[in-house]
Structure 1
């Protein structure tokens, strides 16, 4: 009898039953003099004792400003040391930190400020072409709950921290004693590919344990130095990066305010980092630097690649040329804190490129028929569901949307199509909403994409469904050519496919592009491809 597509990550090591503040204090007691945080652009660095002392000052200052347990504190900033200080200080007083995407414009900023009921906003002064002061001023009158905005690098930040003496260490300790590890501590807004984003509400227990287990899986100790070029406002940065490091006594290294390939490799070389994070496009950009060979990356041993599948050739270069022999692939989503599955340190190249690994300890996963909810046999494609400590508390003040995503059995329905192999490794084959239904036939874009990667003229490809009067949908292939000077016709694509793919999977339309629209977390916005080229 074929095994079912169900797996449960077992472990003799229990979950952490602590708040983030308690866990940080434990690490400080064990490694007070080890590096905890290095902000390379400004040259500032903190030991664990110094980091703990500075988060205490900020925590007391926030209490002095009247921030109560459960109050929402917005953080709208690029990667910087202050981001980390706010993350741990708000956790220590039980405030709910709301991550705000640095790319947001006025409309999106106003939505988050209002929906989360943010009372205090801490913000950078700007990012790229955005003037944050002007944008806050633009929406301020429409956000009645916003009492105060503090800009980093302004006198306001110094005034905020100067308020700390008004609250004693004993008063802070009293607040910390009131906190439970199950309290909400963080709201992260999902990308919102349709309509407004939803605020995934996460507890100490959710994100502390997830950061801890991701770090455990790649063998972090106090000897590790983790370069984090991915954004802090996303789970990849603040959970897998910051909490993964501090729960093991490792050092967080900030290479730049936002991703710069050269700055990232400089930071790795300068700080002798042992671990490097990124989405595949980041690693590709680093490897393609003209002076790549001049960076000394010999200190690296591991790292995390997530966000989208890694091409085999890229993985080979990361392992050999970047010395990341133990690099790990992670799969997850904001609503699950984020990681559910991860490759192991000794997994071979095939598992690291064809799968997202196996379920993490203390988490369950299953693959179900999207229509019936019944668990499928291994080897069959269906919707991936996950359950355990990592599943969010819910979407902030949206119980109906929460119920749509998390069922009565507390299974989070990811919306991702997956296959569980006999060895328990999972392959993500696409999104349910990306599935194309042509004349009653289900078409999985990932299958066609993988096939078209074999065409000699194609460097990258995305397949989407677009409206068709007779069949409901038809297949559109959007391609980036290896040589922009060459051309590629629809007839060439169809001839390439006809002998190997069923007729209904053969692309009916073709678009040649210079680049794909991307989300800030490095995923292709297929919805935008459909909207642009679907008519």
Structure 2
């Protein structure tokens, strides 16, 4: 017999680090948005670029380019110069996208103002970045934008258009309101958008002269991040940031000029203006706005009548479309792709979207405003199991790593930590706030997202929650996302959000807010019985509440801090104030 030798068992191989780089085969676009769009319009002048259904407007690429140039000329004639900030306070319409293109052509910085803002918030936004001009809707549903502006600047009624001098808005000089081609009441001190357009000249030589001097690294857009406390910060983005991000997002969706993308998400947010508008423009595809604000019925109508091949939305939008009583009436067979993003995607909702809406190639995107926004995305051929359980892999020309929030060291794959992003997409900075910029972007150029994530052996990233959302119960680290995914399986549950609330004995306890399916009336006992024996006892929510809706931003992001505050009020958990 051969001689036997004692062997020492080898240690298992160490897990690879949670660190990944995107593909660099396709080069970055090094043009400005204006130059790039001009090239697309020249290549396919007659192809439909924009359909704004609620306005009954349609533009070919050549028409949209010419109108954007006319508007750029008109803005210059207001006395604006490259680098000046111009606000847009509006829901989705053709004027919004014209502002996006026109400002980029002449180096004006477009400032996105949330249509949900009220007096104090819009005052903060306009003064924080020093807007010299503002384009606004007159009103929308219960929002009276003109009325709020008059409250802020009563001097408007007394001044000539373009000559505003306001105590509370010291930099603002011009206010333009979006009218319907000459219809509606006059607004003293304000200029109609239709009149502004008439003042412009698409052949204005200054547009090209200014364009030659612009760089793609120039700031071109300011977006206010949705803060959970205090006022938001103005993330400043460049041509290079958002143009490239839009391009690579469209590549993941395999967009072509034959695609028609339905965009019901707000333009004031990156989801609409980058994942929507710029993804289309960089691929010569057609944009379809179904309405000015989200309405599930008009989305279904737009997809059918415009034969849309793509549809964007946050999970709550897709849920509203799927559960609309008229959903079975519509032919959605033209659909192929789109993006679900903005908040974690429930697995069960994703399965329904694929099966019932024909979105077999829908993708999941993840990011934040400060990274233009997408860092990770699945592709059209990502296996469904990965699409419903991850946010895909790192985008081209970007780098992501997952670190221990305490030590800063990269964690092994499969281990939870904070996701950080580096590359062309990282913002220019927070406008006028160098200290907060340094807090967000480290010395190595990584943007710290504040999101907890894991990376698997194939590089797929899974977002497991926010660092500040993690619940610590009796020494156990609990991730609300995991519990939400389980509760979505209950046949009577339409939507669910899980948060932690303070507990004197265990540190925190779990609370679930549940939206039942239409016509359903589950009880707390039903939910607890569903959990029993299926998940660990400490993951079963102690508090269960049934609600009609969640507090959320207009982009569909759930405001969990408001759920926590409501529960603290209900349970009397707020700290008492002493003299």
TM class by smaller structure: over 0.9
Counterpart contact for 2:492–2:521, Cα < 8 Å: no
Question: What stretches of structure 1 of length at least 5 have no aligned partner?
Answer: none
Structure 2 residue 271 is the aligned partner of structure 1 residue 236: yes
User: CA shift at 1:438, angstroms?
Assistant: 3.0
CA contact (8 A) 2:290 2:298 kept: yes
What is the CA-CA distance between 1:500 and the residue it aligns to?
5.2
Query: Cα distance 1:293–1:452, how it changes in 2: closer, same or farther (>3 A)?
Result: closer
1:145 aligned to 171, 179, 188, which one? 171
Partner of residue 162, structure 1: 198
The answer to whether the Cα contact below 8 Å between 2:377 and 2:393 also exists between their aligned partners in 1 is: yes
Q: Does 1:308 align with 2:321?
A: no
TM-score normalised by length of structure 2: 0.88
Q: Secondary structure at the match of 1:230?
A: coil
Check conservation: 2:346, 2:488, Cα contact below 8 A.
no
Instruction: Show the 5 A alignment for 1:374-413.
Output: 374-413=409-448
Tell me the secondary structure at the aligned position of residue 142 of structure 1. coil
Q: Distance in 2 between matches of 1:143 and 1:366?
A: 42
Deviates more, 1:434-443 or 1:520-529: 434-443
Instruction: Report what 2:290 is aligned to.
Output: 255
Distance 1:454 1:317, change over 3 A: closer
1:125-170: per-residue Cα shift (whole Å, max 9, x none)? Answer: 11220111110111124111111110011662233223224x9622
Is contact 2:552–2:559 with CA below 8 Å preserved after alignment?
Answer: yes
TM superposition shift of 1:458 = 4.2
Q: How does 1:78-157 map to 2 (within 5 A)?
A: 78-140=91-153, 141-153=167-179, 156-157=192-193
CA contact (8 A) 1:378 1:420 kept: yes
- Shift in CA distance, 191/223, structure 1 to aligned 2, threshold 3 Å: same
Please give the secondary structure, in 1, of the residue aligned with 2:55.
coil
After superposing the two structures, state which structure 1 stretch, 278-287 or 232-241, moved more. Answer: 278-287
Question: 1:236 deviation in Å?
Answer: 0.6
Deviation at 1:96?
A: 0.4
Please name the residue that 1:185 is paired with. 220
Render the CA deviation track for 1:391-436: whole Å, top value 9, x for unaligned: 1011111111111111111101111111101111111101101012
Change (3 A) 1:331 1:439: same
- Give yes or no for the alignment of 1:63 onto 2:76: yes
Residue 458 and residue 260 in structure 1: after superposition, are their counterparts in 2 closer, same or farther (change >3 A)?
closer
Q: What is the CA-CA distance between 1:268 and the residue it aligns to? A: 1.6
In 1, Cα distance between equivalents of 2:326 and 2:516: 25
Partner of 1:485: 521
Relative to the length of structure 1, the TM-score reads 0.95
2:375 is the alignment partner of 1:340: yes
Given that 1:58 and 1:89 are in contact with CA atoms closer than 8 Å, whether structure 2 keeps it comes out as: yes
Alignment of 1:518 with 2:518, yes or no, is: no
Q: Are the counterparts in 2 of residues 405 and 412 from structure 1 also a CA contact under 8 Å?
A: yes
Give CA-to-partner distance per residue, 1:436-488, whole Å, 9 cap, x none.
Answer: 22344322222232333445654433221112223332222323345653422
Question: What's the offset of the Cα at 1:504?
Answer: 4.4
Aligned to 1:23: 36
RMSD across aligned positions (CA): 1.8
Cα separation, 2, equivalents of 1:427 and 1:149 = 44
Q: CA deviation at 1:227?
A: 1.0
Rg larger in structure: 2
- Provide the residue aligned with 1:452 in structure 2: 487
Shift of 1:319: 2.2
Work out whether 1:532 is the aligned partner of 2:558.
no
Q: How many equivalent pairs are there?
A: 532
Matched, 1:265 2:294: no
1:222-233 residue pairs with structure 2 within 5 A?
222-233=257-268
Partners of 2:308 and 2:32 in 1: CA distance: 28
